[in-house]
Structure 1
Amino acid sequence: MTLKKRISVGSIGFISLFLIWYFAVKESDYCISFKVKAATGTVFQGIQEWTVAQLLKDGEKYTLIEKRDFEFIKQKMEKENVQMEYVWDITSINDSITKLSVGIKDLNQSWYNKITVPFYNTDFKKEQIRKITDFKKGLDDHLQKFKVVIDGETSTKEVSVAYISLESVLQRKAQNMIASDALITGFLYNNNIEIKGKPYLEITNWDLENETLQFNYCFPVDKNTKVVFDEVIKFKSLPALHGLKATYYGNFRTSDRAWFALLDYAKRKNIKIKHQVLEHFLANPFNGGDELQWKTEIMMPFAAD
């Protein structure tokens, strides 16, 4: 066989394998990728919040098919006769950059899209670019509303607190905390117990899969405070901890953005940390003002080997 014929046969074989992969193996009709300056968990939350908003905005109903950690989401979208599949792959690049790839498939005319998308600016292609651009703009706007600084390894001191135990989904922790503020501060005032500093939030259980929390909303008190029995308000000491610290600037409702940053940092550095969090609020949201000036110190303790 001549060299020319070998090249021809090889080219035909390569093209054949590519076509088999493109039409039979490759799941998406079209893929859009971009990078954002955010932790993977922040992007993950942003995707979920954006897809919920699409039902109100465009009448699109998104159903979760699969999700994995903060790295992968697979959804089915339905609107009238349209059925689409979105696969979001989320990858941490470095301390501040995450890459997001969105694979999109039209379940009703996938072959047509695969044939036309590489060569034509079809309605399908234009619509997907519009939607993902809309998502990215919303995410970029959100990222302007807070700042996270990774401070590294740190330790905390033991502190005596009065606290109330709460449960909620991740997205509503701040609302539940604020709703309980008058209850715990009123109890302390009525019992002549002085608050000795800024409040803490102690996350005792963080279920990443179901995005639920169990936590204690705590106010520091003198260690010699006489304990007053109550079925709701309790007293204890927050133990001294050793772990990773971040400083968060922004609204307390989204302080979990710092949690996600610490998780990404620990993963890249191969540091084992517990899925527990201690937040120390150093600003009073009831005073209002510029939210980017609201400071919260956040710590996640090291896990035992």
Structure 2
Amino acid sequence: MKKTFLVLIALLFMGVLWYLFVKPYDYIVTFKARTFPGAINQSLKIWGNSLKEAQLINQEDLTHLTYNLTFNDSTYLYQWNIIPLTDSTSKVEVYVKDIRHSLKNKIAIPFSNTDFEKRTIKTVKDFNEKLNEHIDKFRVKIIGEDELFATYCAYVTVKTTQFGKAQGMMYNYPLLNTILANNGIELNGRPFVEVTEWDRETDSIQFDFCYPIIKSDSLPQHPDLKYKQINSKKALKAIYNGNYITSDRAWYALLDYAAKNNQELEELPIEVFFNNPNMGGNELSWKAEIYMPIRTQNE
């Protein structure tokens, strides 16, 4: 009996030491989200960029991000872990540590509802509310394997961020539209974007904003205007409904689908747009077809 008691005391003592001095966080908040990890990742970055006190200090991968948040004399370390549950749900774990007052928080938390806890819950709740607002503004439906169209096109090349994609299209729309219309070039389909570079760590992209046209021997020349052939190939396809600013949410949905079905993709999406955003209307009625080419064995 005495030996058992001593073992229990030793285990309790070791547990207290681990809790106070080894445990890497002071508090954890968890919640479920009605979307896939890529949408949460991008929403978290937009939310973080909107806070002057927030700074992204590390992105280990799509599902592990670390932020510093500064409040008065305290710097909080927020480690966000995003865990996919189903095709349309995820679990988010937020591990929070007060860099300067960690020991104080660990001692106080079991015995009182501290200001640190209240601020942490409020901060995570604020993000969750913003995330739910965003989730209600778009839809992604995976169609599956399809054939990417073939076409000849006129295009301009744009370098920007994923979030700046729509603005880059709007900026170059007058150039494409005016030059082609003034020279009587016959269009042959809907405008589309072909992403040629995608840095998923910095969310930066390079893309060609394309107008499908009928190829002719007298195409207009302009220093920013180029022409190329898009060849048909196998691709995964999704339908996106929502504002085209966030159509990249479908990119992540296609990557998730490919991973679950053991398919290798080129990870350079093509987006075909069915609506003119300048006409307004309900954004959920805007439609885009999103293709992610399937990598062939010889690539």
Structure 2 distance, partners of 1:267, 1:120, is 45
Counterpart residue type for residue 194 of structure 1: E
Matched residues, number: 297
- The equivalent residue for 1:29 is 26
- SS of aligned partner of 1:65: strand
The equivalent of 1:244 in structure 2 is: 236
Q: Which runs of 5+ in 2 are unaligned?
A: none
CA gap 1:7/1:70 in 2 versus in 1, 3 angstroms: same
Among candidates 9, 12, 30, match of residue 12 of structure 1: 9
| 1:133-212 mapped onto 2 (5 Å cutoff) | 133-212=125-204
Cα contact 1:193–1:225 (8 A) shared by 2: no
> Residue 92 of structure 1: which of 77, 84, 103 is its match?
84
Letter in structure 1 aligned against 2:46: E
Q: Match of 2:55?
A: 63
1:267 to 259, 264, 272: 259
User: Are positions 1:102 and 2:94 aligned together?
Assistant: yes
* Residue 122 to residue 219, structure 1, CA distance change in 2 (3 Å): same
1:75 is aligned, of 64, 67, 70, to 67
1-side partners of 2:16 and 2:293: how far apart?
A: 51
Q: CA deviation at 1:192?
A: 0.5
> How far off is 1:225 after superposition?
6.3
Instruction: Give the aligned residue type for 2:168.
Output: N
SS of 1:87's equivalent in the other structure is: strand
CA contact (8 A) 1:205 1:275 kept: no
CA RMSD of superposed structures (Å): 1.6
CA contact (8 A) 1:148 1:248 kept: yes
State whether structure 2 residue 99 is matched by structure 1 residue 119: no
For the pair 1:304 / 2:296, whether they are aligned, the reply is: yes
SS in 2 for 1:108: coil
Look up the match of 1:254: 246
Question: How much has 1:102 moved relative to structure 2?
Answer: 0.7
The residue that corresponds to 1:232 in the other structure is: 224
CA change 1:225–1:33 in 2 (3 A) is farther
Deviation at 1:158, TM superposition (A): 0.8
* Residue 40 (str. 1) matches residue 32 (str. 2): no
Structure 2 Cα separation of the partners of residues 211 and 116 of structure 1 = 40
Distance 1:186 1:65 in 2: 44
Q: Partners in 2 of 1:265 and 1:16 — Cα distance?
A: 47
Moved more, 210-219 or 61-70: 61-70
Residue ranges of structure 1 left out of the alignment (5+ in a row): 56-60
Distance 1:164 1:136 in 2: 38
**Identity rate, percent:** 36
Residue matched to 2:281: 289
Structure-2 separation of matches of 1:216 and 1:274: 16
Alpha-carbon offset, residue 246 of structure 1: 1.0
Q: Which residue of 2 is the match for residue 58 of structure 1?
A: none
Instruction: Give the TM-score normalised by the residue count of structure 2.
Output: 0.94
Give, in whole Å, the separation in 2 of the partners of 1:118 and 1:154: 56
